[in-house]
Homo-oligomer: A and B are copies of this chain.
Protein backbone atom coordinates (compact mmCIF):
# COMPACT_ATOMS: atom_id res chain seq x y z
CA UNK A 1 0.00 0.00 0.00
CA UNK A 2 0.92 3.63 -0.24
CA UNK A 3 2.80 4.33 2.95
CA UNK A 4 0.90 6.62 5.25
CA UNK A 5 4.12 7.56 6.96
CA UNK A 6 6.77 9.44 5.12
CA UNK A 7 6.98 12.06 7.84
CA UNK A 8 9.59 12.51 10.54
CA UNK A 9 7.22 11.42 13.29
CA UNK A 10 6.90 7.94 14.76
CA UNK A 11 3.85 5.99 13.52
CA UNK A 12 1.34 4.70 16.04
CA UNK A 13 -0.68 1.94 14.38
CA UNK A 14 -4.06 1.23 15.98
CA UNK A 15 -5.92 -1.94 15.05
CA UNK A 16 -9.63 -1.46 15.68
CA UNK A 17 -11.95 1.55 15.89
CA UNK A 18 -13.92 0.44 18.93
CA UNK A 19 -14.16 2.26 22.25
CA UNK A 20 -10.48 1.66 23.05
CA UNK A 21 -8.96 2.44 19.66
CA UNK A 22 -10.92 5.69 19.41
CA UNK A 23 -9.50 6.93 22.71
CA UNK A 24 -5.91 6.15 21.77
CA UNK A 25 -6.34 8.23 18.62
CA UNK A 26 -8.11 11.04 20.50
CA UNK A 27 -5.30 11.13 23.00
CA UNK A 28 -2.70 11.52 20.27
CA UNK A 29 -4.39 14.51 18.63
CA UNK A 30 -1.90 17.35 17.92
CA UNK A 31 0.94 15.26 19.32
CA UNK A 32 4.19 14.77 17.35
CA UNK A 33 3.18 11.31 16.08
CA UNK A 34 1.40 9.96 13.03
CA UNK A 35 -1.66 7.85 13.75
CA UNK A 36 -2.89 5.15 11.39
CA UNK A 37 -6.04 3.27 12.32
CA UNK A 38 -7.08 0.03 10.66
CA UNK A 39 -10.54 -1.48 10.97
CA UNK A 40 -12.42 -4.06 8.98
CA UNK A 41 -15.32 -1.59 8.85
CA UNK A 42 -15.28 2.14 8.12
CA UNK A 43 -17.35 2.86 11.21
CA UNK A 44 -17.32 2.69 15.00
CA UNK A 45 -20.04 0.46 16.43
CA UNK A 46 -21.83 1.48 19.61
CA UNK A 47 -22.16 -2.11 20.82
CA UNK A 48 -24.36 -1.44 23.88
CA UNK A 49 -27.30 -0.71 21.57
CA UNK A 50 -26.85 -3.60 19.14
CA UNK A 51 -29.76 -5.38 20.78
CA UNK A 52 -32.11 -2.57 19.72
CA UNK A 53 -30.92 -2.93 16.13
CA UNK A 54 -31.53 -6.68 16.36
CA UNK A 55 -35.06 -6.18 17.63
CA UNK A 56 -35.89 -3.43 15.12
CA UNK A 57 -36.13 -0.49 17.53
CA UNK A 58 -33.20 1.39 16.02
CA UNK A 59 -31.70 1.73 12.57
CA UNK A 60 -28.28 0.15 12.27
CA UNK A 61 -26.80 3.40 11.08
CA UNK A 62 -27.86 5.39 14.10
CA UNK A 63 -25.50 3.38 16.31
CA UNK A 64 -22.62 3.51 13.86
CA UNK A 65 -20.39 6.46 13.12
CA UNK A 66 -17.94 6.96 10.30
CA UNK A 67 -14.38 6.71 11.60
CA UNK A 68 -13.17 9.01 8.81
CA UNK A 69 -15.77 11.61 9.70
CA UNK A 70 -15.04 11.34 13.41
CA UNK A 71 -11.37 12.17 12.86
CA UNK A 72 -11.79 14.57 9.93
CA UNK A 73 -10.35 17.41 12.02
CA UNK A 74 -7.38 15.46 13.33
CA UNK A 75 -4.47 16.30 11.06
CA UNK A 76 -2.15 13.47 12.15
CA UNK A 77 -4.83 10.77 11.71
CA UNK A 78 -5.13 8.39 8.77
CA UNK A 79 -7.57 5.52 8.30
CA UNK A 80 -7.65 2.38 6.17
CA UNK A 81 -10.24 -0.39 5.87
CA UNK A 82 -8.14 -3.49 6.42
CA UNK A 83 -8.11 -6.83 8.12
CA UNK A 84 -4.97 -7.59 10.13
CA UNK A 85 -3.79 -11.17 9.77
CA UNK A 86 -0.49 -11.21 11.60
CA UNK A 87 1.76 -9.20 13.88
CA UNK A 88 5.44 -9.44 13.01
CA UNK A 89 6.79 -7.97 16.23
CA UNK A 90 10.37 -8.82 15.30
CA UNK A 91 10.28 -6.49 12.33
CA UNK A 92 7.72 -3.97 13.64
CA UNK A 93 5.12 -4.68 10.99
CA UNK A 94 1.68 -6.19 10.53
CA UNK A 95 0.48 -8.31 7.62
CA UNK A 96 -2.92 -7.11 6.43
CA UNK A 97 -5.46 -7.51 3.64
CA UNK A 98 -3.97 -4.38 2.04
CA UNK A 99 -0.32 -5.36 2.39
CA UNK A 100 2.38 -5.15 5.03
CA UNK A 101 2.40 -2.05 7.21
CA UNK A 102 5.30 -0.90 9.38
CA UNK A 103 4.79 0.69 12.77
CA UNK A 104 6.80 2.27 15.54
CA UNK A 105 4.14 1.60 18.16
CA UNK A 106 1.30 -0.88 17.77
CA UNK A 107 -1.97 -0.83 19.71
CA UNK A 108 -4.10 -3.96 19.39
CA UNK A 109 -7.68 -2.88 20.12
CA UNK A 110 -9.46 -5.64 18.26
CA UNK A 111 -12.05 -6.36 20.93
CA UNK A 112 -13.80 -9.66 21.34
CA UNK A 113 -16.04 -11.99 19.41
CA UNK A 114 -18.60 -14.59 20.43
CA UNK A 115 -17.21 -17.62 22.20
CA UNK A 116 -19.03 -20.85 21.42
CA UNK A 117 -16.49 -22.75 23.53
CA UNK A 118 -15.59 -25.01 20.64
CA UNK A 119 -19.10 -26.34 20.00
CA UNK A 120 -19.23 -26.26 16.19
CA UNK A 121 -22.86 -27.31 15.96
CA UNK A 122 -24.04 -24.51 18.21
CA UNK A 123 -21.76 -22.09 16.34
CA UNK A 124 -23.44 -23.11 13.10
CA UNK A 125 -27.02 -22.65 14.24
CA UNK A 126 -27.05 -20.14 17.09
CA UNK A 127 -26.96 -16.42 16.29
CA UNK A 128 -24.17 -14.23 17.66
CA UNK A 129 -24.64 -10.48 18.11
CA UNK A 130 -21.33 -8.69 18.38
CA UNK A 131 -21.38 -6.53 15.23
CA UNK A 132 -23.89 -4.60 13.14
CA UNK A 133 -24.04 -7.19 10.33
CA UNK A 134 -24.66 -9.85 12.99
CA UNK A 135 -27.37 -7.78 14.68
CA UNK A 136 -29.05 -7.24 11.30
CA UNK A 137 -28.87 -10.95 10.50
CA UNK A 138 -30.52 -11.63 13.84
CA UNK A 139 -33.25 -9.08 13.13
CA UNK A 140 -33.93 -10.60 9.73
CA UNK A 141 -34.07 -14.12 11.20
CA UNK A 142 -36.53 -13.05 13.91
CA UNK A 143 -38.79 -11.24 11.44
CA UNK A 144 -38.58 -13.98 8.82
CA UNK A 145 -39.63 -16.52 11.42
CA UNK A 146 -42.57 -14.33 12.47
CA UNK A 147 -43.56 -14.05 8.79
CA UNK A 148 -43.31 -17.81 8.43
CA UNK A 149 -45.38 -18.33 11.56
CA UNK A 150 -48.17 -16.21 10.06
CA UNK A 151 -48.43 -18.53 7.08
CA UNK A 152 -48.04 -21.75 9.07
CA UNK A 153 -51.47 -23.26 9.79
CA UNK A 154 -50.36 -25.85 12.38
CA UNK A 155 -49.87 -24.60 15.91
CA UNK A 156 -47.28 -27.30 16.49
CA UNK A 157 -45.26 -26.11 13.51
CA UNK A 158 -45.53 -22.50 14.65
CA UNK A 159 -44.06 -23.29 18.07
CA UNK A 160 -40.35 -23.41 17.11
CA UNK A 161 -40.78 -20.31 14.95
CA UNK A 162 -42.26 -18.36 17.87
CA UNK A 163 -39.89 -19.57 20.60
CA UNK A 164 -36.84 -17.42 21.36
CA UNK A 165 -34.05 -18.80 23.52
CA UNK A 166 -31.36 -16.42 24.76
CA UNK A 167 -28.34 -18.21 26.12
CA UNK A 168 -26.32 -16.16 28.57
CA UNK A 169 -27.98 -13.87 31.11
CA UNK A 170 -25.39 -11.10 31.12
CA UNK A 171 -26.42 -7.57 30.11
CA UNK A 172 -26.76 -8.55 26.43
CA UNK A 173 -29.02 -11.52 27.14
CA UNK A 174 -31.09 -9.58 29.67
CA UNK A 175 -31.54 -6.58 27.37
CA UNK A 176 -32.45 -8.77 24.40
CA UNK A 177 -34.91 -10.75 26.52
CA UNK A 178 -36.55 -7.52 27.64
CA UNK A 179 -36.73 -6.15 24.09
CA UNK A 180 -38.21 -9.39 22.74
CA UNK A 181 -40.74 -9.47 25.57
CA UNK A 182 -41.79 -5.91 24.69
CA UNK A 183 -42.05 -6.91 21.04
CA UNK A 184 -44.39 -9.69 22.10
CA UNK A 185 -46.39 -7.66 24.61
CA UNK A 186 -46.88 -4.48 22.59
CA UNK A 187 -46.16 -5.03 18.91
CA UNK A 188 -46.75 -8.65 17.89
CA UNK A 189 -50.50 -8.58 17.44
CA UNK A 190 -50.44 -5.11 15.86
CA UNK A 191 -48.03 -6.20 13.14
CA UNK A 192 -49.26 -9.78 12.91
CA UNK A 193 -52.96 -9.82 13.76
CA UNK A 194 -53.06 -13.52 12.83
CA UNK A 195 -50.76 -14.44 15.75
CA UNK A 196 -51.59 -14.70 19.44
CA UNK A 197 -49.38 -13.06 22.02
CA UNK A 198 -49.41 -16.22 24.13
CA UNK A 199 -47.87 -18.25 21.35
CA UNK A 200 -44.63 -16.28 21.41
CA UNK A 201 -42.25 -17.45 24.13
CA UNK A 202 -39.04 -15.84 25.36
CA UNK A 203 -36.58 -17.91 27.40
CA UNK A 204 -33.45 -16.60 29.10
CA UNK A 205 -31.02 -19.36 30.02
CA UNK A 206 -27.85 -19.33 32.10
CA UNK A 207 -25.76 -21.97 33.81
CA UNK A 208 -25.20 -19.58 36.72
CA UNK A 209 -27.77 -19.32 39.52
CA UNK A 210 -28.50 -15.62 38.79
CA UNK A 211 -29.03 -13.18 35.96
CA UNK A 212 -26.53 -10.31 35.49
CA UNK A 213 -23.80 -12.33 37.20
CA UNK A 214 -21.34 -9.52 38.00
CA UNK A 215 -24.02 -7.11 39.26
CA UNK A 216 -25.13 -6.66 42.86
CA UNK A 217 -27.63 -9.07 44.39
CA UNK A 218 -30.33 -6.41 44.42
CA UNK A 219 -29.80 -5.60 40.73
CA UNK A 220 -29.85 -9.29 39.78
CA UNK A 221 -33.01 -9.89 41.72
CA UNK A 222 -34.75 -6.81 40.33
CA UNK A 223 -33.77 -7.70 36.77
CA UNK A 224 -35.12 -11.21 37.17
CA UNK A 225 -38.36 -9.89 38.63
CA UNK A 226 -38.78 -7.37 35.83
CA UNK A 227 -38.21 -10.07 33.22
CA UNK A 228 -40.57 -12.52 34.86
CA UNK A 229 -43.31 -9.90 35.06
CA UNK A 230 -42.82 -9.15 31.38
CA UNK A 231 -43.38 -12.82 30.63
CA UNK A 232 -39.82 -14.01 30.10
CA UNK A 233 -39.17 -17.51 31.36
CA UNK A 234 -35.86 -17.33 33.21
CA UNK A 235 -34.07 -20.68 33.41
CA UNK A 236 -31.08 -20.61 35.78
CA UNK A 237 -28.57 -23.31 36.70
CA UNK A 238 -29.21 -24.72 33.23
CA UNK A 239 -26.42 -25.79 30.91
CA UNK A 240 -26.85 -26.09 27.15
CA UNK A 241 -25.97 -29.46 25.73
CA UNK A 242 -26.71 -29.10 22.03
CA UNK A 243 -28.61 -27.14 19.39
CA UNK A 244 -29.30 -28.50 15.93
CA UNK A 245 -31.26 -25.57 14.51
CA UNK A 246 -34.60 -27.02 15.59
CA UNK A 247 -34.30 -28.02 19.22
CA UNK A 248 -32.06 -26.84 22.04
CA UNK A 249 -31.25 -29.52 24.62
CA UNK A 250 -30.17 -28.86 28.17
CA UNK A 251 -28.23 -31.06 30.54
CA UNK A 252 -30.69 -33.05 32.58
CA UNK A 253 -33.08 -33.79 29.71
CA UNK A 254 -35.19 -30.65 29.25
CA UNK A 255 -35.37 -29.21 25.75
CA UNK A 256 -37.12 -26.46 23.78
CA UNK A 257 -38.16 -26.60 20.13
CA UNK A 258 -36.91 -23.35 18.61
CA UNK A 259 -35.54 -21.90 15.43
CA UNK A 260 -34.26 -18.84 17.31
CA UNK A 261 -31.29 -19.32 19.60
CA UNK A 262 -29.21 -16.26 20.37
CA UNK A 263 -25.87 -16.91 21.95
CA UNK A 264 -24.43 -14.35 24.35
CA UNK A 265 -22.91 -16.82 26.75
CA UNK A 266 -19.30 -15.83 26.32
CA UNK A 267 -16.72 -13.82 24.43
CA UNK A 268 -13.13 -14.34 23.44
CA UNK A 269 -10.44 -11.89 22.40
CA UNK A 270 -9.77 -11.37 18.70
CA UNK A 271 -6.05 -12.00 18.49
CA UNK A 272 -4.04 -11.74 15.26
CA UNK A 273 -1.45 -14.41 14.50
CA UNK A 274 2.14 -13.91 15.50
CA UNK A 275 1.77 -13.54 19.27
CA UNK A 276 3.59 -16.22 21.25
CA UNK A 277 1.19 -18.71 22.85
CA UNK A 278 2.56 -18.18 26.33
CA UNK A 279 1.35 -14.59 26.17
CA UNK A 280 -2.25 -15.57 25.45
CA UNK A 281 -4.41 -15.85 28.56
CA UNK A 282 -7.76 -17.42 29.31
CA UNK A 283 -10.50 -16.05 27.05
CA UNK A 284 -7.96 -15.68 24.23
CA UNK A 285 -6.70 -12.41 25.65
CA UNK A 286 -3.23 -10.93 25.34
CA UNK A 287 -1.26 -10.90 28.54
CA UNK A 288 -0.24 -7.30 29.24
CA UNK A 289 1.79 -5.56 31.93
CA UNK A 290 0.50 -2.64 33.98
CA UNK A 291 0.99 -0.18 31.11
CA UNK A 292 -0.94 -2.51 28.73
CA UNK A 293 2.22 -3.59 26.95
CA UNK A 294 1.94 -7.13 25.57
CA UNK A 295 4.35 -9.34 27.45
CA UNK A 296 7.44 -10.22 25.49
CA UNK A 297 7.25 -7.08 23.33
CA UNK A 298 8.75 -3.61 23.53
CA UNK A 299 6.31 -1.50 21.61
CA UNK A 300 3.10 -3.54 21.22
CA UNK A 301 0.12 -2.66 23.40
CA UNK A 302 -3.26 -4.31 23.84
CA UNK A 303 -6.32 -2.70 25.39
CA UNK A 304 -9.94 -3.46 26.19
CA UNK A 305 -11.55 -6.85 25.64
CA UNK A 306 -8.47 -8.32 23.99
CA UNK A 307 -6.17 -7.49 26.91
CA UNK A 308 -5.71 -9.38 30.18
CA UNK A 309 -3.90 -7.36 32.82
CA UNK A 310 -3.41 -10.00 35.48
CA UNK A 311 -2.30 -8.51 38.80
CA UNK A 312 -2.91 -9.29 42.44
CA UNK A 313 -5.81 -6.85 42.43
CA UNK A 314 -7.22 -8.16 39.14
CA UNK A 315 -6.43 -11.89 39.09
CA UNK A 316 -8.78 -12.45 36.13
CA UNK A 317 -7.99 -9.18 34.37
CA UNK A 318 -10.56 -6.42 33.95
CA UNK A 319 -14.18 -6.92 32.93
CA UNK A 320 -14.94 -6.77 29.21
CA UNK A 321 -16.82 -3.50 29.25
CA UNK A 322 -16.58 -0.24 27.33
CA UNK A 323 -15.30 1.71 30.36
CA UNK A 324 -12.18 -0.43 30.64
CA UNK A 325 -11.41 -0.04 26.94
CA UNK A 326 -11.96 3.71 27.08
CA UNK A 327 -9.78 4.22 30.14
CA UNK A 328 -7.04 1.92 28.86
CA UNK A 329 -7.15 3.65 25.47
CA UNK A 330 -6.60 7.06 27.05
CA UNK A 331 -3.90 5.67 29.27
CA UNK A 332 -1.97 3.94 26.49
CA UNK A 333 -2.12 7.10 24.39
CA UNK A 334 -0.54 9.01 27.27
CA UNK A 335 2.06 6.34 28.01
CA UNK A 336 3.14 6.13 24.37
CA UNK A 337 3.86 9.87 24.53
CA UNK A 338 5.73 9.35 27.81
CA UNK A 339 7.88 6.67 26.16
CA UNK A 340 8.54 8.87 23.12
CA UNK A 341 9.48 11.76 25.39
CA UNK A 342 11.71 9.57 27.57
CA UNK A 343 9.47 10.13 30.58
CA UNK A 344 8.45 7.46 33.09
CA UNK A 345 5.23 5.61 32.29
CA UNK A 346 2.27 5.39 34.65
CA UNK A 347 0.61 2.10 35.58
CA UNK A 348 -3.09 1.71 34.70
CA UNK A 349 -5.68 2.00 37.45
CA UNK A 350 -9.28 1.15 36.57
CA UNK A 351 -11.87 3.57 37.85
CA UNK A 352 -15.06 1.50 37.97
CA UNK A 353 -17.91 3.94 37.41
CA UNK A 354 -20.50 1.23 37.81
CA UNK A 355 -22.82 -0.88 35.73
CA UNK A 356 -26.17 -0.31 34.10
CA UNK A 357 -28.55 -2.65 32.33
CA UNK A 358 -32.00 -1.97 30.97
CA UNK A 359 -34.79 -4.49 30.84
CA UNK A 360 -37.47 -2.40 29.19
CA UNK A 361 -39.68 0.64 29.38
CA UNK A 362 -39.19 2.28 32.79
CA UNK A 363 -37.16 -0.74 33.93
CA UNK A 364 -33.42 -0.75 34.45
CA UNK A 365 -30.90 -1.56 37.14
CA UNK A 366 -27.97 0.59 38.22
CA UNK A 367 -25.00 -0.37 40.38
CA UNK A 368 -23.01 2.84 40.79
CA UNK A 369 -20.46 1.90 43.43
CA UNK A 370 -22.41 1.62 46.66
CA UNK A 371 -25.37 3.46 45.18
CA UNK A 372 -27.74 0.87 43.82
CA UNK A 373 -31.18 1.51 42.43
CA UNK A 374 -33.65 -0.09 40.07
CA UNK A 375 -36.68 0.96 38.07
CA UNK A 376 -37.70 4.20 36.41
CA UNK A 377 -34.85 6.38 37.61
CA UNK A 378 -32.25 3.77 36.68
CA UNK A 379 -33.87 3.66 33.25
CA UNK A 380 -33.52 7.44 32.85
CA UNK A 381 -29.86 7.21 33.88
CA UNK A 382 -29.33 4.35 31.42
CA UNK A 383 -30.82 6.38 28.56
CA UNK A 384 -28.86 9.49 29.45
CA UNK A 385 -25.53 7.66 29.71
CA UNK A 386 -26.10 5.86 26.40
CA UNK A 387 -27.19 8.99 24.56
CA UNK A 388 -24.19 11.05 25.63
CA UNK A 389 -21.84 8.18 24.80
CA UNK A 390 -23.06 7.86 21.21
CA UNK A 391 -20.74 9.37 18.63
CA UNK A 392 -22.15 12.22 16.56
CA UNK A 393 -24.81 14.81 17.29
CA UNK A 394 -27.04 13.53 14.52
CA UNK A 395 -26.94 9.99 15.93
CA UNK A 396 -27.80 11.28 19.41
CA UNK A 397 -30.80 13.19 18.07
CA UNK A 398 -32.01 10.31 15.91
CA UNK A 399 -31.74 7.73 18.70
CA UNK A 400 -33.49 10.12 21.07
CA UNK A 401 -36.36 10.66 18.62
CA UNK A 402 -36.70 6.92 18.14
CA UNK A 403 -36.87 6.38 21.88
CA UNK A 404 -39.43 9.13 22.36
CA UNK A 405 -41.55 7.77 19.51
CA UNK A 406 -41.34 4.25 20.97
CA UNK A 407 -42.22 5.51 24.41
CA UNK A 408 -45.23 7.44 23.20
CA UNK A 409 -46.84 4.83 21.00
CA UNK A 410 -45.32 1.57 22.26
CA UNK A 411 -44.70 0.65 18.64
CA UNK A 412 -41.27 1.96 17.86
CA UNK A 413 -39.02 0.95 15.05
CA UNK A 414 -39.60 -0.11 11.55
CA UNK A 415 -38.72 -3.82 11.66
CA UNK A 416 -37.50 -3.96 8.07
CA UNK A 417 -35.96 -6.95 6.36
CA UNK A 418 -33.58 -5.15 4.02
CA UNK A 419 -31.73 -8.28 2.96
CA UNK A 420 -33.04 -11.77 3.52
CA UNK A 421 -31.00 -13.77 6.01
CA UNK A 422 -29.96 -17.08 4.58
CA UNK A 423 -27.75 -19.23 6.72
CA UNK A 424 -25.79 -20.67 3.83
CA UNK A 425 -25.24 -17.43 1.95
CA UNK A 426 -24.33 -14.76 4.43
CA UNK A 427 -21.36 -14.96 6.74
CA UNK A 428 -22.82 -15.60 10.15
CA UNK A 429 -19.81 -14.32 12.00
CA UNK A 430 -18.21 -11.04 11.37
CA UNK A 431 -14.89 -11.21 13.11
CA UNK A 432 -12.56 -8.28 13.37
CA UNK A 433 -9.58 -10.49 12.72
CA UNK A 434 -9.27 -13.92 11.19
CA UNK A 435 -7.84 -16.54 13.47
CA UNK A 436 -5.46 -17.10 16.30
CA UNK A 437 -2.01 -18.56 16.31
A residues apposed to B, CB below 8 Å: 1-2, 41-43, 59-62, 64-66, 68-69, 72, 78, 80-81, 98, 132-133, 136, 143-144, 147, 150-153, 190-194, 392-395, 397-398, 401-402, 405, 411-412, 414-419
Contact = CB atoms under 8 A, between A and B. Distances in A.
A240 to B, nearest CB: 29
B414 A192 contact: no
A414 B150 contact: no
Q: Which of A43, A152, A393, A419 has the most CB of B within 10 A?
A: A419
Contacts of A147: 42, 80-81
Nearest to A397: B401
Given A42-B416, A42-B417, A72-B190, 17 more contacts: A41-B418, A42-B143, A42-B147, A42-B415, A43-B414, A61-B61, A64-B418, A68-B192, A69-B191, A69-B411, A72-B191, A72-B411, A80-B150, A133-B419, A136-B418, A394-B401, A394-B402
Contacts of A194: 2, 78
What secondary structure prevails in chain A residues at the interface with B? mixed
A178 to B, nearest CB: 21
Nearest to A80: B151
B133 A69 contact: no
B2 A151 contact: yes
Contacts of A72: 190-191, 193, 411
A82 to B, nearest CB: 9
Contacts of A397: 401
A405 B393 contact: yes
Contact of A59 (B62, B65, B78, B412): B62
Nearest to A41: B417
10 contacts: A43-B417, A59-B62, A64-B414, A66-B415, A66-B416, A68-B415, A133-B418, A394-B414, A398-B398, A398-B401
A147 B67 CA distance: 13
Contact of A405 (B43, B59, B394, B401): B394
A59 B61 CA distance: 6
